[in-house]
Structure 1
Amino acid sequence: MAYQFDFQAVLEHWPLLLQGVLVTLQITAVSTVLGIILGSICAGLRTSHVRWARAVVTVYVEIIRNTPLLIQAYFLIFGLASMGVRMPFILGATIALTVNVGAYTTEIVRAGIQSIKRGQIEAAECLGLSRFQTYLHVIIRPALERVYPALTSQYVLLMLFSSIVSAVGVDELFGMANRIQSATFRNFEIFVVIGVIYVLLAALVRLFFWGLGQLMFPRRSKLGTPL
């Protein structure tokens, strides 16, 4: 019996797909901004001379990197709820994605910080820059510039990994696809459609980071260094 393809039945539910795309972009954008902030702070602490701060960040990074994102999301949403701490599903999912990507950002940024030569820091101190100015202009900014391609890839993966939070009740793109599949019973068609959408979203995220890189690190484009 030949299978009859019917993409029209799926595309008729485009408002749900659009809503799912918007939710996916929303949680990705918030998690990206918070993840960069969290990762940069933790990377600074992990490369500092404060032993207890290095130990705390190391434990955080190792726990997050060695446990599945789904378990982290379940813990934040359902685990804490069992102890009386309740939060909206989308908030819990955003926190889970932020905490997860923050750990990976920490390691990426740490590699960038460790690539900064000691002589550059000493030169900044000789010029009278404060600790904050030295960290901002001599350490963290050049470090982010060097690891920017790796960060871009990590945050594209973050957008793709957001599909996992559909398992905890968030109606992002994959969650909406499951609802459409349940209504139409068109498994093949719906997953082809959202596969194409995810490819387009990944391209969009990469394009955004490319443009952001052109603004933040103009020297890379002048040197012909890929972003």
Structure 2
Amino acid sequence: MNYHFDFAGLLPYWKTFLQGALLTMELTLASTVFGLTIGVLCAIGRRSSYGAISTLCGIYVEAVRNTPFLVQIFIFYFGLSSIGLQMPAAVAAVIAMVINVGAYSSEIIRAGMDAIPPGQIEAAECLGLSKARIYWHVILLPAFEKVYPSITSQFILMMLMSSVTSQISTEELTAVANNVQSITFLSLESYIVVAILYLILAVLLRLLFLIGEVWLFRRKRVIALAKRRLMAPQLPVTTLRT
């Protein structure tokens, strides 16, 4: 089989690929911000002492996690339009992504909150801290620090899953590849370019999340620095005298 790659044939469409990449990032950032907010609230709700709130949050999480993402998108785009609630494809994609990632991030955050030792909470109560301060400084922030790698991986996975939104004509990267290859008949080249762009976007997101970790969890850096200093070998007395 003699196949000659013709990536030069895609050069006239570089702006189209760039627009698709930008829309993919916009979908991802919107789902990250709103999905994380829903995830935190739902994690708190599932640990609530009020049975109704806990049950509702549990139903939401299980319903989303046990249905395909594609079906969820179809419900918001095609299903709601059949009852008169029409919305643009990008809006339907964002809503579906937010609801999906909110359910998954909720379970990740709840696992981190459950990992907080009860003694740590009791110590905070003994110090006279208010319930709000205990929940924020003793439970939520340490829990979020524990699960930060998992939660960021979930958001990167959602960025990759945004390719499914091409099924409702959202002009993100995969939809752009479909359109370009139908015009140029360069299917292999189009999808190779899109795969490389997805890889670049994933790396950029990981770098952004790494910067966010450094900025958010300064306490973690201080503790790590203190441990390195404690574990550093002590200089011999003769060396110190000289």
TM-score for both structures, normalised by structure 2: 0.89
- In the aligned structure 2, how far is the partner of 1:80 from the partner of 1:128? 50
Structure-1 separation of matches of 2:76 and 2:128 = 45
Deviation at 1:122, TM superposition (A): 2.1
User: How far apart are the structure 1 equivalents of 2:58 and 2:104?
Assistant: 12
Q: Tell me, in whole angstroms, the C-alpha distance in 2 between the residues paired with 1:78 and 1:134.
A: 44
Residue aligning to 1:135: 135
Amino acid at match of 1:66: N
Look up the match of 2:205.
Answer: 205
Q: Which amino acid aligns with 1:58?
A: G
Deviation at 1:126, TM superposition (A): 2.7
- Counterpart amino acid of residue 21 in structure 1: A
Offset at 1:69?
Answer: 0.6
Q: Which amino acid in the other structure matches residue 177 of structure 1?
A: A
Counterpart residue number, 1:113: 113
Partner residue of 2:30?
Answer: 30
Secondary structure, counterpart of 2:80 in structure 1:
helix
What residue number does 2:145 align with?
Answer: 145
Paired with 2:131 and 2:64, the residues of 1 have a C-alpha distance of 30
Partner of 2:59: 59
| 3-state SS, counterpart of residue 87 of structure 2 | coil
Aligned residue identity for 1:141: L
Letter of the 1:219 counterpart: R
Contiguous gaps of at least 5 residues in structure 2 = 226-242
Offset at residue 130 of structure 1 (A): 2.4
How far apart in 2 are the matches of 1:9 and 1:179? 14
Report deviation, 1:52.
1.1
Structure 1 segments (4+ residues) deviating >4 Å: none
Q: Aligned partners of 1:119, 1:86: CA distance in 2, in Å?
A: 51
Comparing 118-127 and 27-36, the one that deviates more:
118-127
Could you say which residue in structure 2 is the equivalent of 1:44?
Answer: 44
Q: Distance in 2 between matches of 1:7 and 1:82?
A: 42
TM-score normalised per structure 1: 0.95
CA distance in 1: counterparts of 2:45 and 2:20, whole angstroms: 37
Whichever residue aligns with residue 38 of structure 1, its letter is I
In the TM superposition, residue 12 of structure 1 has moved relative to its aligned partner by: 2.1
Aligned Cα root-mean-square deviation (Å): 1.5
- Map 1:5-20 to 2 at 5 A: 5-20=5-20
- Deviation, 1:109, is 0.2
Q: Summarize deviations over 1:88-112 as a string: whole Å, max 9, x none.
A: 1111100100000011101100000
Per-residue deviation at 1:47?
Answer: 1.2
Deviations 1:65-122 (A, max 9, x none): 1111110010011101101111111111001000000111011000000011122222
Deviation at 1:218, TM superposition (A): 2.2
Instruction: State the secondary structure of the residue aligned to 2:148.
Output: helix
2:146 partner letter: R
2: distance between equivalents of 1:105 and 1:11?
A: 39
Runs of 5+ unmatched residues, structure 1: none
| One-letter amino acid of the structure 2 residue matched with residue 192 of structure 1 | I
Aligned-partner SS, 1:98: helix
- Secondary structure of the corresponding residue to residue 5 of structure 2: coil
**Which position in structure 2 is the counterpart of 1:70?**
70
Once residues 75 and 170 of structure 2 are traced to their aligned partners in structure 1, the CA distance between those partners, rounded to angstroms, is 15
Q: Sequence identity, in percent?
A: 46
Q: Which residue of 1 aligns with 2:84?
A: 84
Letter in 1 for 2:105: T
Number of the residue aligned with 1:124: 124
**Structure 1 residue 221 displacement after superposition:** 3.8
Equivalent pairs counted in the alignment come to 225
Matched position secondary structure for 1:14? helix
Structure index of larger Rg: 2
The one-letter amino acid of 2:153's match is: S
